[in-house]
Structure 1
Amino acid sequence: MNAATDPATEEHVPVLIAGGGPVGLTLAALLARQGVRSQVIEADEGYCTGSRAICISRRSQEILGWVGADAPLVNKGLGWTAGRSHFRQAEVLRFEMPSEPTQRFAPMVNIQQFYIEEYAHRAIGDGAAVHWGERVRTVQTREHDVLVEIDTPQGTRTVRADWLVACDGGRSTVREQLGLQLEGTQYEGRYVIVDIRQKTRRPVERLAWFDPPSNPGSTILMHRQPDDVWRIDYQIRDDEDPAEAVKPENVLPRVRSHLEMIGETEPWEPLWISIYNAKCLTLPSYRHGRVFFAGDAAHLVPIFGVRGLNSGLDDAGNLAWKLARVLRGESPEALLDSYSVERVHATRENIAYGAKSTEFMAPPDFAFRLMREAALRLAQDDEAVRPLINPRQSSAIGYTDSPLNGGESGESGPSGAWASALAAPGAPAPEALSRDAQGQPFHLSTRFGHGFVALAFNGAPLGGLPPGVQPLQITPGTDPHGQAWRRYGLHSPGEPALVLVRPDGYVLGRWHGLDSAPLRAALQATGVTE
């Protein structure tokens, strides 16, 4: 028997995470918060270089907040709510993302990916071991565990994991070992990505230029980042050699020309150069026995609309609580099937939006280019056309047909109807600014992320709540802005109701009245409890 199969040489872990990027590290931190120890292996020697994924959505900030990584992110990052697009030099669109003074987080925060990795890593504490400079060599799936051979600087070691989560990126070794392939569309249009350091007084917003005089025929995107860094993405011609396109002697003149055009005259220096082309690819299933896929290992979506890293963090938020419940013996293993159902659905929606944005930002053929130019020309004078060029930034996606949707019923309201579909089962639980018993303000989202929460409107749950479900009473006094009762679909501030929120901040079910029996039945019917 060789070392790879000798039980005496095997190291056992409940969860092995292949990939120590932002998704893998966030998953490890979420599991640690749930009391589950994991091990992370990462082929690189440390955090990534270059900006990479830079726009962190409000939903992602909430997920990072569950592990305490939100404070450094908000302190370091640059929040923004708006964006502008130009056709040549004329502004043709200004958009504002939904935001309000009482929100906990900005709609988007710009921050380099390596900071996200650092903050997620810090949040793990001693809840996981992170092994840098190690990579998956082989994967052997078995009925009750997964055997993984790992290459390390000291040689090969073997880990026996109850569960393996592949967060090892677009070129996933785990995916290759299982003989799986991504399916979908890959676009030909390429973008050079450049980080430069330059001081500027411009506001933080998404900036886009189509066919600018500085780079005729190209599309240019710009985002401010911390540390006086500009992130610049520009499209190259179809006939340009990608290897030549990223050489500094070809990149820097284009950057200089654009900076001069927009009046950015401060000295600047290049920091990082890369190249990218849009892909709309996904695995058909994210669960294969005891192996799960998350982030780029599961799906590749275009950067336009910033749905890549944000959807990967949502993968982590969805999977962590389910794995934890199964490992603790609180839920049957069948609960884990819902991870793939929900997240594949979300990916397909992200791909649909991403494909539309890609076809506008990098038209795949002459017909698309013609339609884009027509829309841009018309948008200069016609406000009705401008929504066609809106980039549709990432937002949390509802799980419309999830097996975990526990339904809704009622004893009041017209025929038991709810006043709003905003918090229907499968929807992200709406945010609301509330007050605790001492009158101190808090956001509802700060109560999510660990266990189930039952929002009890105007009274205590009758019959009590099952183990693992925490009550949170909401009354007109604790809901001073009326946000909670309106957003969760009540007809009046004094109406009694129960809303069950999952550990990942999604609504499982809602019921008029305070009888907890329907809530208990929903947990059993959805397979959360046996």
Structure 2
Amino acid sequence: MDFVSYFDYEQHPPVMPATTNGRETHRHRVAVVGGGPIGLAVALGLARQGIASVVLEADDSVCLGSRAGCVTSRTLEILEQSGVADAVMRQGLPWAEGWSYYRTEEVLHLDVPQDAAARFPRLVNIQQCYIEQYMVEAARARYADLIEIRWQNRLEGLRQSQGGVELDLSTPEGRYTLSADWVVAADGAHSAVRKLLQLRFAGTRYEGQYIIADIKMKSALPPGRRAWFDPPSNPGATLLLHKHRDDLWRFDYQLREDEDPQEAVKPENVLQRIRSHLELMGEQAPWQPVWISLYRASCLTLEDYRHGRVLLAGDAAHLVPIFGVRGLNSGVEDANNLAWKLAYAIRGWGNERLLRSYTAERVFATRENMRHASKSAEFMAPPAPAFALMRSAVLGLAGRHPWVRRLIDPRQSTTVGYPQSPLNHPQPEGEDYAAGPASGFAFVDAPLPDGSHLCQHIGPHFTALAFDAPDAPALQRALSDSQVPIHVLSLPARGPLAERYDARAGTLYLFRPDGNLLARWRHADAAGIRAAVAQCCQGDAP
């Protein structure tokens, strides 16, 4: 059976800059190692802050295969800021249901909660190659003067000094050394930067291994997550199936302990497993393979994402299992958190404490993601006989006893807030809220009176939501000469957004550039807002 392609890959020529004695003559503000979705998200986030970067990618195109296959509404809100979300929505396939089966019996029907007032659906299936391509196009169209992407630039060496970093790079046209004030490592699970810095992950690497395979097949089945436990096509193990647009389907199935991964990943063996499962489902339409890969689940993280002038993000900093769509999505949130803080540090608007908060917040978020993902991973691939016995009991009872079914919940990714962030501003005593995000948590989207959504107005500045402010224009004028940009958005204390924020006349919410809440007050003035922003960006370390 021949493999087919669904994506038009653009092959990029290598980039070799002008050099003197093997050194590039231009010094860069920021070098981003890795041109995948996380590296590109960092570059786009920096560009929105007016900071130039060079992105160094070892390959000559965007990634091969589906890889990450689903984005959340929070990721779409972040991509909205760089003009990428609309393209993702055109190609992506939203879904809101899931089905779990024990052998051939359905034991759980999952309804993914949706937010009808938000701009984006909760979950959208889309292959990673599309996301990367749309990011590359946004960099070209919007930020050509601030983002340079150098394809076929492979990192081979790294040296730090107090004032910056030197990178040794190889290209098909030669080698050279690049100097940068800062380096962001977004070069994936096998990060060259992490290895050169001799950093070690901590956590759990699960024994279970998985085959990921894409096929092209016409089917009337609706989109959604389908999970089989101990199916006849993969006895003693698990299998997941997701639908994508353009008649593409993604299989993720677990290898049994007695299977040799190198044999199991051979096309003839993968295709036979897929053929067997499609027969089990009653699917008779012709199909063709697209892509095959091998994967191992892990819950691993670095203890610190900042090492001198090098910061790490995405899989270079942490690994979480694919269950619950936490991989790419948590990496995009890393980039969203890091970009504005690094930009503010470069501009002199933020101090060392602000930059250190990147590790404090995102390591906390990673551990929360790992906590939930590990539960899913242990259910999908029991790490010990006792776990396997418990899973068999749960699955055996779930068909007859609805109360047991919640134990099969795949725990889809949710946005993690930062309740203990060092940046959080204390809420004034006596001010209570029945709704709305607390300090450290992301904004809650809703439509505005002009027909737009709140997510379209967040960042790259601090954003103040002023509900029925006595004189919002005067407040904006009073904040206009602030060194750090603060934008006032005047809103009525009624309607969907006001209800979601428990707003009344005078209520003010102040969001950071990444969309997480810094502070909220029932009554605020320009002096209080300035003080909160100053404490966030320039506050002394505790």
- Bin of the TM-score, shorter chain as denominator length: over 0.9
1:209-243: per-residue Cα shift (whole Å, max 9, x none)?
11112322221100011221110011111121110
Q: What RMSD over aligned residues (CA atoms) do the two structures have, in Å?
A: 1.8
Distance 2:115 2:420 in 1: 30
Aligned with 2:77 (options 62, 77, 83): 62
Match of 1:382?
A: 401
Asked if the contact 1:330/1:529 (under 8 Å) is kept, the reply is no
Q: 1:353 to 1:118 in 2, by over 3 A?
A: same
Residue matched to 2:12:
none
The yes-or-no answer on 1:488 pairing with 2:487 is no
Structure 2: how far apart are the matches of 1:265 and 1:385?
34
Partner of 1:469: 486
Q: Does 1:194 align with 2:213?
A: yes
- Give the distance between the partners of 2:115 and 2:376, measured in 1 at CA: 26
The aligned residue for residue 264 of structure 1 is: 283
Change (3 A) 1:239 1:160: same
Deviation at 1:4, TM superposition (A): 10
- Segment of structure 1 superposing worse, 230-239 or 322-331: 322-331
Q: Can you give the 5+ residue segments of structure 2 that lack an aligned partner in the other structure?
A: 1-17
Residue 151 of structure 2 aligns to which amino acid in structure 1? W
Distance 1:151 1:471 in 2: 47
SS at match of 2:452: strand
Equivalent of 2:414 in 383, 395, 404: 395
1:73 corresponds to: 88
Residue 221 of structure 1: SS of its match in structure 2? strand
Residue equivalent to 1:455: 465
Query: Do structure 1's residue 500 and structure 2's residue 515 form an aligned pair?
Result: no
1: CA distance between counterparts of 2:20 and 2:340? 31
Q: Aligned match of 2:132 in 106, 117, 124?
A: 117
Contact 1:195 1:230 in 2 (8 A): yes
Say whether 1:429 aligns with 2:443. Answer: yes
Asked if 1:224 corresponds to 2:243, the answer is yes
Corresponding residue for 1:441?
451
State the one-letter code of the partner of 2:497.
A
Q: Identity of aligned pairs, percent?
A: 49
Using the TM superposition, give the Cα deviation of residue 100 of structure 1 relative to its aligned residue in structure 2, in angstroms.
Answer: 3.3
- Aligned counterparts, 1:96-495, within 5 A: 96-125=111-140, 126=144, 127-409=146-428, 415-420=430-435, 422-435=436-449, 440-459=450-469, 460=471, 464-465=478-479, 466=482, 467-476=484-493, 479=494, 482-490=495-503, 494-495=504-505
| CA drift at 1:51 | 0.6
Q: Say which SS state the counterpart of residue 232 (structure 1) adopts.
A: strand
Residue 371 (structure 1) shift: 0.5
Give deviations 1:73-132, integer Å, cap 9, x for gaps: 000110111211111111111122221333211111111110010011111121211111
Residue number in structure 1 paired with 2:100: 85
So what's the TM-score if we normalise by structure 2?
Answer: 0.91
Q: Tell me what 1:522 maps to.
A: 532
Shift of 1:5: 11
Inter-partner Cα distance in structure 1 for 2:110 and 2:447:
25
Point out where structure 1 has 5 or more consecutive residues left out of the alignment.
none
**Structure 1 residue aligned with 2:51:** 36
Aligned mates of 1:148, 1:297 — CA distance in 2: 17
Alpha-carbon distance, 1:160 to partner: 0.9
Give distance in 1, aligned partners of 2:524 and 2:161.
Answer: 46
Instruction: Give the match for residue 7 of structure 2.
Output: none
Count of residues in correspondence between the two structures: 512
Q: Residues 388 and 514 from structure 1, CA distance in 2 versus in 1: closer, same or farther, beyond 3 angstroms?
A: same
Write the distance in 2 (CA, Å) between the matches of 1:453 and 1:416.
21
Alpha-carbon separation, structure 2, partners of 1:516 and 1:207 = 52
CA-CA distance at 1:6 after TM superposition: 6.9
TM-score under structure 1 normalisation?
A: 0.93
How far has the Cα of 1:449 moved from its partner? Answer: 3.2
Instruction: Verify the 8 A CA contact 1:193 1:234 in the aligned structure 2.
Output: yes
Other-structure match for 1:25:
40
Contact 2:48-2:460 within 8 A present in 1 as well:
yes
- Secondary structure class of the residue paired with 1:359: helix
Offset of 1:171 from its aligned partner?
Answer: 1.0
